[in-house]
Amino acid sequence: MAPDRRRHRGPHPRDRELFAERHHAMLRQAVAEFSWLLTRGYPARAALKLVGDRYALVARQRQAILRCGCEDQSREHTGLSAVAPEQCAGHPVGIDGYNLLITLESALSGGLVLTGRDGRYRDLASVHGNYRSVRETDLALELLLETTGALNPSRVDIFLDQPVSNSGRLKTRLAELLEAFRWDGASEFNIELTPSPDRILKEYDGIVVTADSIVLRRCSRSLDMAALIIRARVPQAWVLDLGHPRPGDCDDDGTRW
C-alpha cells in the first residue's frame, strides 16, 4: 500500500458528483430502507447489498448509507443518552480521539460530513490503521481542546488507538498544545494510548464523545461534540443530512416516499 501523502482530509474527487443535490432524496430513502431492514434483524452486510443494488449505488455511496443508517432501537437509545453541552460541567468527559479529530479535519478541509439517522455527525474519510496529520490537524486539535475546556468538565480523558500509526506523535502534539492553553478552573486532561478506546468508552463512567454506533448503543450518556464544534466554529462545512427524509422527496416518476 502506498503511504498516505495527503495534505488535507478533504473531499474525495467524485464526492461533488456522487452527493450532488439530485441524489439527496434517493440517498435518504436508501438510508431509511437500510435502517428498516436492520430494525428487523437483517445483517448489515446483506441489508446494504440489497439496498445498494436496488439503487445502483457505488461503493462510496454505500459507505455513506452504512454510516448514516441504524436500527430504531439504536436511534432511540442515542437520543435518550444525549446530553446538552452545559450538562458536562463537573462530570468526566471521555473522547474517542481519532473519531472526533478526523471528522473535524474533514469539515475544516471541505470534506463531506454526514448527519445520520441518529442525528450524529460522521465523516467519510478513509483512515484505517494508518493516520497521518494534515494541514488542518493543529486547528482541529485546538478546537477540540478549547471546546472541551469551555464545558468545565471535572476531567477529560482523550483515548487514542495505540495500534494506529503515529498515535505516539499525536499524543505528544496534544500535550504540547495543552501547555499552550489554560482555562479558569482548568480541568484535568489525560491523553491515553490504548489498544481499544471502544472497549473503555462502552463502560466509561462519564459523558462519552464519539460517533461510533457500537459505543453509542452501550454508553449511558453521550455528547455530539463534532456537531457542537462544526456548527459554532466551522459554519462553512459541507454537512449533508441523509438521516431524515424531506416532505418533498419522491421517486423519478413523482411517487412520494
Q: What is the pLDDT of residues 190-221, one digit of tens each?
A: 999 999 999 999 999 999 999 999 999 999 99
Q: Is residue 253 in a domain?
A: no
Q: Is residue 10 in a domain?
A: no
pLDDT (tens digit, 9 = 90+) per residue, 77-89?
Answer: 999 999 999 999 9
Q: Is residue 251 in a domain?
A: no
Q: Where residue 2 falls among pLDDT bands split at 50, 70, 90? A: very low
Least confident of 11-15, 61-65, 201-205, 228-232: 11-15
Q: Is residue 232 in a domain?
A: yes
pLDDT (tens digit, 9 = 90+) per residue, 121-147?
Answer: 999 986 667 899 999 999 999 999 999
The closest of 133, 135, 73 to 97, measured between CA atoms, is 133
Q: What is the mean pLDDT of residues 34-43?
A: 98
Q: What is the mean pLDDT of residues 52-80?
A: 97
Calculate what percentage of the chain has a pLDDT beyond 90.
83
Residue 246's CB is within 10 A of a number of other CB atoms, namely 11
Q: Is the pLDDT of residue 54 over 60?
A: yes
Answering whether pTM is above 0.75, one says yes
Q: Is the pLDDT of residue 257 over 60?
A: no
Q: How many domains does one find in the chain?
A: 1
Q: Is residue 252 in a domain?
A: no
Q: Where residue 228 falls among pLDDT bands split at 50, 70, 90? A: very high
pLDDT (tens digit, 9 = 90+) per residue, 177-186?
Answer: 988 876 555 5
Q: Is residue 183 in a domain?
A: yes
Q: Is residue 81 in a domain?
A: yes
Q: Find the domain containing 32 and state its range.
A: 15-241
Q: How far apart are CA 177 and CA 101, in angstroms?
A: 14
